[in-house]
Amino acid sequence: MPLDPDALEAWTFGEVAQAYADRDTMLYALGVGLGTDPLDERQLRYVTEPDLLAVPTMAAVLCHPGPWIADPRTGATRNRIVHGEQRMAFHRPLPAAGTLRAGFRVLGVEDKGADKGALVHVEKTLRDEATGEALATVVQTSFCRADGGFGRSFGPRLPLHPIPDRPADLELSLPTLPQSALLYRLNADRNPLHSSPDFARRAGFPRPILHGLCTYGVAAHAVIAGLLDYDAARLRAFDARFSAVVFPGDTITVEMWRDGAVASFRAWVRERDARVLDNGRALLG
């Protein structure tokens, strides 16, 4: 069944508000690997008080709109949807605790063809509830593998960032824990694909897989550590395409190239020769 582009173009979302505490900020940071060295004062700023800082990519888990795309009116085949791409622009640092409000819109839909599926881009704007100030703009792309061929696209086509054709300037490897998915799921996404061995096997995986957004957060951790000396406020944007799964306990190796204010990156699990993130672009301040 193809997507319904008319329904998607007219789709309306209610605003979502969320209050969060310093505990939530610490939990997210621990979930993407901050605090691995508990003697590193630079990392401790993200996992301990009193001067707690938020990892910018925590914007991914705040004010989640819920499984709206599973609504039958979209025409999407729920069990054939995967997270394809993630883009974020950071306007102001996230507070370590506070109340945010988010608005959403379907930014665009790309029909790739009847046998190639479709892309659905959804934009979320996070604002401070008290001031109305925009903190982050998040674009999540869902790849609807079984739902192409409807013949009408709308909205912008979002180009993928090319990786430089030269050896990486820097490479950093960060471990994940066997329980990383069990830890990360406490942020927002309790999909049993990341926790139930039986569910994962029925989905075609030998065991539960790591959340793609956790892999994305680990890559942001690598860029913040390797290129910004843990000064995350200098991260202005962070985009990537998901290209393969990660299993909890894998070590994620992030290759980085710096060209002025733009850093390109991609991520691997070397033990399986799996490229797990590609077309990465970070804008540095």
51 is catalytic: no
24 is catalytic: no
User: Among residues 99, 184, 105, 163, which one has the least CA distance to residue 137?
Assistant: 105
Residue 136 sits in the same domain as residue 14: yes
* DSSP-based three-state secondary structure for 278: strand
Q: What confidence score (pLDDT) does residue 242 get?
A: 98
- The residue segments making up the domain with residue 102 are 5-144
Encoding tokens for residue 50?
Answer: 């009193």
| For residues 37-63, average pLDDT | 97
- Asked if residue 252 belongs to a domain, the reply is yes
Q: Is the pLDDT of residue 1 over 80?
A: no
Q: What is the pLDDT of residues 97-131, one digit of tens each?
A: 999 999 999 999 999 999 999 999 999 999 999 99
Residue 60's contacts (CB-CB under 8 Å, 6 or more residues apart) are 86, 88, 138, 140, 213, 216, 217
- For the chain, the 3-state helix, strand and coil shares in percent, each to the nearest 5, are 25, 35, 40
Number of separate domains in the chain: 2
Residue 188 sits in the same domain as residue 80: no
Give 93's DSSP letter: P
Which of 4, 24, 111, 189 is labelled catalytic?
Answer: 189
Residue 59 sits in the same domain as residue 176: no
Nearest-angstrom CA–CA distance, 174 and 191:
24
Nearest-angstrom CA–CA distance, 243 and 235:
23
Nearest-angstrom CA–CA distance, 120 and 109:
5
Q: What is the pLDDT of residues 69-105, one digit of tens each?
A: 989 999 998 878 889 999 999 999 999 999 999 999 9
Q: What confidence score (pLDDT) does residue 65 get?
A: 92
- Asked if residue 160 belongs to a domain, the reply is no
Alpha-carbon dihedral angle through residues 221, 223, 226, 231, given to the nearest 10 degrees: -70
Number of residues that make up the chain: 285
- Asked if residue 152 belongs to a domain, the reply is no
- Asked if residue 10 belongs to a domain, the reply is yes
Count the helices and strands in the chain (H runs, E runs): 6, 10
Q: Confidence band (pLDDT; 50, 70, 90) for 191?
A: confident
Residue 137 sits in the same domain as residue 176: no
Nearest-angstrom CA–CA distance, 96 and 145:
37
Nearest-angstrom CA–CA distance, 208 and 202:
10
Which of 194, 211, 221, 250 is labelled catalytic?
Answer: 194
Which CATH number characterizes residue 88's domain? 3.10.129.10
* DSSP-based three-state secondary structure for 83: strand
Encoding tokens for residue 200?
Answer: 């994962």
For tokens 């691997």, what's the residue? 268
- Asked if residue 163 belongs to a domain, the reply is no
Q: Which amino acid is at 273?
A: D
Q: Confidence band (pLDDT; 50, 70, 90) for 145?
A: confident
Nearest-angstrom CA–CA distance, 203 and 207:
10
